[in-house]
Amino acid sequence: MPEIERFLDALASSSPTPGGGAAAAYAAAMGAALVGMAARLTSGRRFQKVRNDVAHIVEQTSDLRRRAESLAEDDQTAYQAVADAQSMPRATDEERARRSRCLQEALKGAARPPLELMHCSLAVTRVAHQLATIGNPALITDTASGSLLATAAFRAARLNVEANLHLIRDREWVAEIRGIMQTMGDPAGWDAETQAVAQNVLRAESG
């Protein structure tokens, strides 16, 4: 898969982009893709009663995957703007003031993609939990793995938001973003329930 290889090579390079934000976004995209696969393989007469719910999950995971992939690109663009602002000249007071203004705006811009990724990742864990309770038990480990990837993406995205907030001097704006983060919730509960379902299925199969 040359596209993945190119991304990993770029991720491992000395270039500041792509970085952790893009990697987190692709983790969320992979999580959504895995849940989508498990949903598509929940088919046939056995799952006739949940057909409509599963079809909705397929649609949701497709949307979430595209959203996460787009956020990976947005994150790289936003962080590059930060790097460009940091490299601006600062020999005079005027240059330093301009650099500071540009950097502050760039930092706000860089906080937005990971904040949106938190929403996206949380949605993936919720959908995974829904599928875990009605989906094909033969695919439960894929559903659970998708949930774990999305949970990791959420935590990484939150770290990236915080990294930017610490450098932003607009305290009112920072407080607004922190308020959004606090009301967002956390994927831990959804993921824990999904993992519990997976363990129960595996125990039943081994017993």
Domains of the chain, by residue range, sit at: 18-206
> Tens digit of pLDDT for each residue in 149-159?
999 999 999 99
Domain 18-206: top CATH class: mainly alpha
Phi and psi at 66, nearest 5°, equal -65, -40
Which pLDDT score is estimated for 99? 97
Residue range 22-44: mean pLDDT, rounded: 97
pLDDT at 120: 98
Tokens of 145: 């793995």
Please state, rounded to an integer, the average pLDDT across all residues of the chain.
95
Identify which of 152, 191, 179 has the alpha carbon closest to the alpha carbon of residue 23: 152
- Please tell me the predicted confidence (pLDDT) of residue 185: 87
- The pLDDT tens digits of the residues spanning 149-204 come to 999 999 999 999 999 999 999 999 999 999 999 999 899 999 999 999 999 999 88
H or E element at residue 206: helix 188-206
pLDDT band at 134 (very low <50, low <70, confident <90, very high): very high
Nearest to 26 by CA among 119, 155, 117, 160: 117
pLDDT, position 1: 64
Query: How do residues 97-130 score in pLDDT, each as one tens digit?
Result: 999 999 999 999 999 999 999 999 999 999 999 9
% of the chain exceeding 90 in pLDDT:
94
